[in-house]
Amino acid sequence: MENFLSSISLVSRLATDDYVGFTFFVGCMAMMAASAFFFLSMNSFDKKWRTSILVSGLITFIAAVHYWYMRDYWAGFAESPTFFRYVDWVLTVPLMCVEFFLILKVAGAKKSLMWRLIFASVIMLVTGYFGEAVYRDSAAFWGLISGIAYFWIVYEIWFGEAKKLAEAAGGSVLKAHKTLCWFVLVGWAIYPLGYMAGTPGWYDGLGQIGLNMDVIYNIGDAVNKIGFGLVIYGLAVAQSSEK
């Protein structure tokens, strides 16, 4: 109870023009609401799609919990909660990669595809953390490695084995796969912008045009994680109606 009252007190201290704090709070509530929606809708679908819906709910739930802590951290110290953010990402981003495997199982996807995507996502995140929090003087170098891992994921889902499996499945599975691919290509692209806005390098000019790292990350997280889940939900609905 004491911690709960303390959290309420911290929220009341946020300035009315604190847009960073606002996006932390809205992101937390939006992803918690999405989690409730996904969890409560699980039993509406066939067993083969329940795991996908469950993973969608776990992604937004894990993010919501971390955003609760990040909101309090921002309110208390007015500093970017980099550590908490990367803990969130190292749990949720691999799960988002798992979603590709789960929807492509109907076309015979093997676990090796899932593990390759997970491995690339972990490399992307660990090197990103090194550049943003540990070795900031060489942020551009670590960002490059992180970017290579990201583009490997993009290649795999757009042109590699995942693409071939999606085409073999066809129908609503192919449509959902394409939408998730666009989320990774366009939606995930917001994270490099946040990275560059928060680290030193040849791209320092980004900070001078008003880009705020935390606002970029917060908006990107809410859109991408909830959006991923809604695509999976839509696929489950479509598959149910096709019967």
Tell me the pLDDT tens digit for each residue of 177-193.
999 999 999 999 888 88
How many Å apart are CA 113 and CA 115, to the nearest integer? 6
Predicted local distance difference test score (pLDDT) of residue 239: 85
Q: Is 210 exposed, middle or buried, given 0-12, 13-18 or 19+ CB atoms closer than 10 A?
A: exposed
**Cβ-Cβ contacts under 8 Å for 222 (sequence gap 6 or more):** 26, 27, 30, 31
3-state helix, strand, coil in the chain (%, to 5): 85, 0, 15
Query: Token digits for 187?
Result: 């939606």
Tell me the pLDDT tens digit for each residue of 68-118.
999 989 988 888 899 999 999 999 999 999 999 999 998 999 999 999 999
How many Å apart are CA 78 and CA 171, to the nearest integer? 48
Residue written as token pair 């776990």: 58
* pLDDT exceeds cutoff 70 at 4: no
Helices (H), ranges, 42-138:
47-77, 82-104, 111-129
* pLDDT exceeds cutoff 50 at 58: yes
Residue written as token pair 């695509």: 231
pLDDT band at 10 (very low <50, low <70, confident <90, very high): very low
Tell me the pLDDT tens digit for each residue of 134-170.
999 999 999 999 999 999 999 999 999 999 999 999 9
How many Å apart are CA 39 and CA 57, to the nearest integer? 6
Query: Token digits for 158?
Result: 């757009």
Predicted local distance difference test score (pLDDT) of residue 208: 53
Name the strand (E) or helix (H) holding 145: helix 139-158
* Residue length of the chain: 243
Q: Residue 90 is which amino acid?
A: V
